[in-house]
Every structure is written in structure tokens, then in C-alpha cells.
Amino acid sequence: MKSIAKAIYFTYQWLIAGPIFVAVTFLTAIFTAIGSLTGNKDFWGYYPPHYWARFTCAIFLMRIKVSGRENIDPATSYVFVANHQGAYDIWSIYGFLNHNFKWLMKKELEKIFMVGWACKCAGHVFVDDSSVAGIKETIAEAEQTLKHGMSLVIFPEGSRSWDGKMIPFKRGAFMLAGEFRLPVVPVTIDGSFKAMPRFTYNMRPCTIKLTIHKPIYPGEKGFNTKQLMAQCRENISSALPSEIRDTDMA
């Protein structure tokens, strides 16, 4: 029975849901870009993709379970840091965090057809870590974004996991958080690796759990980057299943 169900879903994914997803993605990118160019990037850069993400999870039969939403205030700016298990991390956060934000994303993603253009129009921040000048430019751009009361979402691992376990965090994300002096909110995503691992485009319907932890506030002197990175990793790992949790927390 499992093999029959798998075959049915495989056919549904590639012949029905997939083509619809591609069409809706391009339409969302167009609406986002044009809306952002006409004004109010904060609205157009969030709401069309927000509903696109929820639609994506629904059409591919993914269930998203969120806990800890009471830990954040919709009127407060945060730097959200999340683990990165797979592609569904993006749709889970965009569709179910329910907090307006901009992505801090790798610069190479700007090259994605239509989507990169829409993200640029919407004011998402592309990270250029190829040089000191590029990093300074990224910080300046992010500071301008946050001046308007916006939040940022960062994947500090920098890329998706190959096995569902967290890979080492990069310091850059936490150095940026220290520059902004905003509360940092760790977010745990569990299940997106099962939904679609990095090494395949084939999906598996499942439940993805999004855990929003309590904010970490800067002290009088801001953040200690090393301590902030360790605390965020500990919080994120604490909500993962024991088999993929950091071993030093077991």
C-alpha cells in the first residue's frame, strides 16, 4: 500500500501540483515586483509571498504546526535565526511565522529567474561576503531596511543540511545581529528535511514543526557574538528530535 500511495503522490506532484506551483510562483513574483516598484515594499514584499508559501504547502499536502508564536510581538523588530533543513524552511517561515520581515539571503539567489528580480524589488538583502567592501555594503543595506521597523530572517548555516542535522553556524549572521542591536529570536524547523531533502526534488507529505523561541535581548554593550551564536544553537537544537540534536546536548 505504501508503494502505491508513493506512486500516486509522485504522479500528482509532477503532473498536477508541480506545474501549478511553477505558474503561481511566476505570478507571485510579478505581483511582488510590480507592487514593490509602485510603492510600499513592506506590503508587497511580504503578503503575496506569504500566501504563495501557504498555497505551496497546501498543494503539496504539507502540514505546518507552529508553537511559540506568543513569544514575539507583531509590532517589534527582530532578527530571526533558523536552522536550514530544506527548501520547505522558506515556505514554512514565509507562510506561517506571521511576522513581516526581509530575508538576508545569499547573493547568488539573485540570479534565479523572476524570483531573484522580485526579491530585489521587494527590498530583501543579498549578502555579498566575497570582500570586506561587500560585507560593509550588506551591513549598510540591512541597516537601512531595519530603520523602518522591519525584521530580518537569517539561516546562519548558510546552506541546507545534507542529513537533517545542523551544520556549523557562520559568525557573520550573528555579527550582523550585534550591529543592529535588535532582539534575536531562534527558530527551530523540524520536518522539512523529510519533506524534501537537499539531494532530491521528490517530496514526501509530512508535518513540519516550527518552534519560535523566546527573544534574546542585547545587553548594555550589545551582544557577545560567540555567546549569542552558542545560545541560539542550543535553543534551536533543544526543539529537534534527539537523533538529530547536537550531541553535546544529549
Phi first, then psi: what are they for 51, rounded to 5°?
A: -75, -30
Residue 250's pLDDT band (boundaries 50, 70, 90)? very low
* pLDDT in the model for residue 130: 60
pLDDT digits (tens, 9 = 90+) for 152-210: 999 999 899 999 999 999 887 787 777 778 899 999 999 999 999 999 999 999 999 99
Query: How far is the C-alpha of 2 from the C-alpha of 11, rounded, in Å?
Result: 14
Kind of pairing between the strands at 151-154 and 101-106:
parallel
* pLDDT in the model for residue 87: 95
**Once rounded to an integer, what is the mean pLDDT over residues 111-128?**
90
CATH architecture of 2-249: 3-Layer(aba) Sandwich (3.40)
pLDDT digits (tens, 9 = 90+) for 198-246: 999 999 999 999 999 999 999 888 899 999 999 999 999 999 999 999 8
pTM, entire model? 0.93
Q: What contacts 52, CB < 8 A, 6 or more positions away?
A: 24, 25, 28, 94, 95
**Once rounded to an integer, what is the mean pLDDT over residues 13-25?**
98
* Summary mean pLDDT of the chain: 91
pLDDT digits (tens, 9 = 90+) for 76-88: 999 999 999 999 9
Judged against a pLDDT cut of 80, whether residue 103 lies above it is answered with yes
Expressed in angstroms, the distance from the first to the final Cα of the chain is: 36
Residue 127's pLDDT band (boundaries 50, 70, 90)? confident
CA dihedral of residues 11, 14, 17, 22 (deg, nearest 10):
-170
- Report whether 212 contacts 78 (CB < 8 A): no
